[in-house]
Amino acid sequence: MPGWDAYRKLVGGDTDDRALFVEMQKSEPALMAAVFENGKRSRDDLLESRLQRVTQWQPNIVNAMSSPSLGSCAAMLFLGSIEEMEPSDAVTGAISILVQRPPLREHLQRNTGRKAVRRLGIAWVLNCPNKSETAINSRLMVIGMLNLEDALALPLAIVAGGSEYAQLSPTMKALATVTIGQLGNRSHVAQLEPLLNDPTVYMTASQENLPGAPAGTVQVRDVALVVLLHFTDQSPADYGYIASQQIQARSFTISPFGADGDKRRAQAIAKWRAWRAEHPDGEKAAAAKDARRTE
């Protein structure tokens, strides 16, 4: 069947994987054939046109109040993941919306649906050919919204600053750090610590935005330190971040320092490093405990 080699490489080839691929072929035979058998029309245009119809699907009497078929939705996800395609920001954004709706969402949630669909969703997050900031932002949002712990390789690669992501803005690096904070654990502490040396400005905050916090800027290293403190069950307020907290499972508030910000940041980071030096063995044990908790 057209696309099988690419699908098997991306997702796998067990019984459930094969069954999902057959559903995709039954639901989108013309699209799959056009993409993999060199149709005359641009494969990217075909995907965008079909995806638009799928995302605009409205349950009504004509379609028996149903959602789009799982096969159609999975096909969109698959075609947005492969190197043969060049999905636009619009396509990537539409897919990020599609995965948060039935029928994909219930299968992408951990331990609630078909593993083949979850593997396909993670494959899209990690392999989408579009590396624009808009597309990366969409994928980071999906990781957090759907609790895709297995896709943390993307934000971890971003904070590591590899060549593929070296030109991303401080905003993307900060968002990647927050995503790791949402779903990661103490085993990721060492990967975030290098960000404590990053003074680039992530955002400007004011007292109106964060009551009780001084006006000033939030830097990438502020975000990293607040997440590190969250991982190690410490209070950001004890380090000078008086209004910083994890307000819910998927977001943090990061309070700025005032006019003497760099001096206070240096003090906070020095305090963190002193704490780390005092807890080398406990850190490993806690990381193992956190890892078991997420299994």
Note whether 99 and 201 are same-domain residues. no
Q: Give dist(CA 106, CA 158) in Å, integer.
A: 28
Last residue of a domain, one of 132, 151, 170: 151
Q: Into how many domains does the chain fold?
A: 2
What token pair was written down for 181?
């904070």
Note whether 91 and 163 are same-domain residues. no
Q: What is the mean pLDDT of residues 68-89?
A: 93
Note whether 260 and 201 are same-domain residues. yes
Question: Band of the pLDDT at 212, cuts 50, 70, 90?
Answer: low
Q: Give dist(CA 73, CA 102) in Å, integer.
A: 9
Note whether 198 and 55 are same-domain residues. no
Note whether 278 and 185 are same-domain residues. yes
Domain of residue 126: give its range.
1-151
User: What is the per-residue pLDDT for 64?
Assistant: 43
Q: Give dist(CA 144, CA 139) in Å, integer.
A: 9
Note whether 239 and 203 are same-domain residues. yes
Question: Band of the pLDDT at 112, cuts 50, 70, 90?
Answer: confident
Note whether 12 and 114 are same-domain residues. yes
Is residue 37 within 8 A of residue 136, CB to CB? The reply is: no
Q: What is the mean pLDDT of residues 285-295?
A: 54
Note whether 143 and 8 are same-domain residues. yes
Q: Is the pLDDT of residue 194 over 90?
A: yes
Greater confidence, 266 or 246?
Answer: 266
Note whether 130 and 165 are same-domain residues. no
Q: Is the pLDDT of residue 259 over 70?
A: no
Q: Give dist(CA 93, CA 30) in Å, integer.
A: 23
Note whether 105 and 206 are same-domain residues. no
> Phi, psi (5° rounding) for residue 244?
-90, 140
User: What is the per-residue pLDDT for 209?
Assistant: 53
Q: Is the pLDDT of residue 95 over 90?
A: yes
Last residue of a domain, one of 151, 173, 201: 151
CA-closest candidate to residue 54, choices 37, 34, 74: 74
Note whether 110 and 139 are same-domain residues. yes
CA-closest candidate to residue 200, choices 222, 215, 182, 175: 222
> Phi, psi (5° rounding) for residue 66?
-95, 170
